[in-house]
Structure 1
Amino acid sequence: MLSFFHRLQLRFHTENKIVAYLLYAIGEIVLLVIGILLALQINNWNSRRLDQEEARKSYQNIKRQLLEDRIELGKVKDLNNYFAASYVNANRMIANKDVSKADSLALMIMGLSQYSDFYRSGNIYEILVNSGEIKLLKNIAVTSGLQKLEMTYTHLNKLEDIHWEIILNELSPEVRGAINYATLEIVKPEKLYSVEIRNFLIESLFLTQAKDSVYKKAQLEINQIIDQINSELKSQ
């Protein structure tokens, strides 16, 4: 009888040890899992923090480039307006056939061999795509705005290329036959009042008006993107 109770006691003791061991093992596993989850959470948090820092740097860099572009756009827009006024004045002189102002007309026309030409700081959208930084920018309004601005820049550059072509192909041949560049002497005054020169002035005036419209469009788009970037930076 005593032997039976002793065996029973040993059995309970053994089972208790097994249960205790199982509980201990389960506790260790739970702690291990919790540790892994915490490590993953911390790692994810650090990754998000680093991504946010990189995104912030990208937004600030984009803003800096856009501000540079906006300043340059303001300069070329003013220059474009100056040329537009010169086209109007030169066209008026030719229309009035005021030969007494031939010298002034000659100098004005020679100056019109120049034109407003926008040089941007860089292709922001393409750089973001090629570098992979665009994935960090969560504000869709910024990325889509940059893509739209790139199309506006492309349109503007095409207009500027057209302007240069008509200067090269239409104005230069006429001016070369009318003015001696070395002495600025007017060799053939009648060529300054020709229909070819006048047609060039009218074509160029239309181009300056088209360019002015695109300059304004680009400035507006830049302002909208900068507003979005400022809001994004404040929210971080």
Structure 2
Amino acid sequence: MENKTSKYLKYAIGEIFLVVIGIIIALQINNWNEQRKLKFDEQEALVNIKEDFTYNKKLLLDVINESEETMQSSLVMLNYTGKKPKPEREQYFDSLVNKVITSPYYYPRNGFLDDLINSGNLSIFRSVDLRNRLSSWKPLIDRVQARYVGLRDYQDGLINYIIEHGSWLNADAMMTFERDIEFPESGFDVDNRTMLLDLKFENMIENNAIYLDNYRGELINAQKLLDSILALIDGQMGTTQ
């Protein structure tokens, strides 16, 4: 009986051992499959994020360049104020008038990133640095847009000044390449260059350049963060570690 009992115990222990081994192997296979799925999902997410941020970079560079051109137009205009020599051609000055109130708006494509953040799935990215930088993107864009709102509010005042002291009709007549409308000259005896003799106009143009520079500064900060995000994405794409 003792021998039989011993054999049964050994057999039972062996069976238990095999069951435990089977469970461990099954768990390992399940864990391997889960890790493989997570890596696949991460790579897919990286592709989608890169596509959005590559688009965002192209758009951002265009907005930065246009903001720079608008700011430079304001600075050029300041070279003609007060007692300084005036532009020889009124048409040239009218083109500047139109340019100084041009404010390109930056509206990046953040749909996929928003979905990840709102669903709490930003942790799909193994890189902590990438997660942190992606989390910083939206707050930075909020600051960019706040700068834009301040700029537009200020430029509304500049537009109203020009409405009261100059001719938008003459200024718009110089922008036919951007519109399908061909404007005639104003029916009033007006020369927009007379605004250059007003100290208030000089101050408004100078402040306009300041607002534009502040806006451009935030755009450049966004460019730096965007470039770092794209670099981290490239470093993570295709990795299996």
Normalised by the length of structure 1, the TM-score is 0.83
Matching residue of 1:4: none
Q: How does 1:53-72 map onto structure 2 within 5 Å?
A: 53-72=40-59
Q: What is the RMSD of the two structures over their aligned residues, measured on CA atoms?
A: 2.2
Residue aligned with 1:73, SS = helix
The equivalent position to 2:62 in structure 1, one of 58, 68, 75, is: 75
Residue aligned with 2:110, SS = coil
Map Cα deviations across residues 62-115 of structure 1 (whole Å, 9 max, x no partner). 222111111111101111111112111222223425275333323321333321
Matching residue of 1:175: 162
Map Cα deviations across residues 10-32 of structure 1 (whole Å, 9 max, x no partner). xxxx3322222222122111111
Please list every run of at least 4 consecutive aligned residues from structure 1 whose deviation after the TM superposition is greater than 4 angstroms.
Answer: none
Answer whether contact 1:97 1:193 (CA < 8 A) is retained. Answer: no
The equivalent position to 2:78 in structure 1, one of 82, 91, 96, is: 91
Give the whole-Å Cα distance in 2 for the aligned partners of 1:22 and 1:148.
62
Matching residue of 2:26: 39
Answer whether contact 1:156 1:214 (CA < 8 A) is retained. Answer: yes
Query: Aligned-pair distance for 1:187?
Result: 4.8
Query: Aligned-pair distance for 1:124?
Result: 5.9
- Unpaired segments of 5 or more residues in structure 2? 170-182
- Unpaired segments of 5 or more residues in structure 1? 1-13
Amino acid at match of 1:113: I
The structure with higher relative contact order (CA 8 Å, sep 6+) is 2
Normalised by the length of structure 2, the TM-score is 0.82
Amino acid at match of 2:103: Y
Q: Please say if 1:219 is aligned against 2:223.
A: yes
Q: Please say if 1:141 is aligned against 2:129.
A: yes
Identity of aligned residues (%): 20
Matching residue of 2:143: 155
Give the whole-Å Cα distance in 1 for the aligned partners of 2:102 and 2:115.
31
Amino acid at match of 1:144: N
Matching residue of 1:19: 6
Query: Aligned-pair distance for 1:217?
Result: 1.9
Map Cα deviations across residues 142-172 of structure 1 (whole Å, 9 max, x no partner). 111122232322221111111111111x222
Evaluate the alpha carbon distance shift between residue 103 and residue 187 of structure 1 in structure 2; reply closer, same or farther with a 3 A threshold: farther
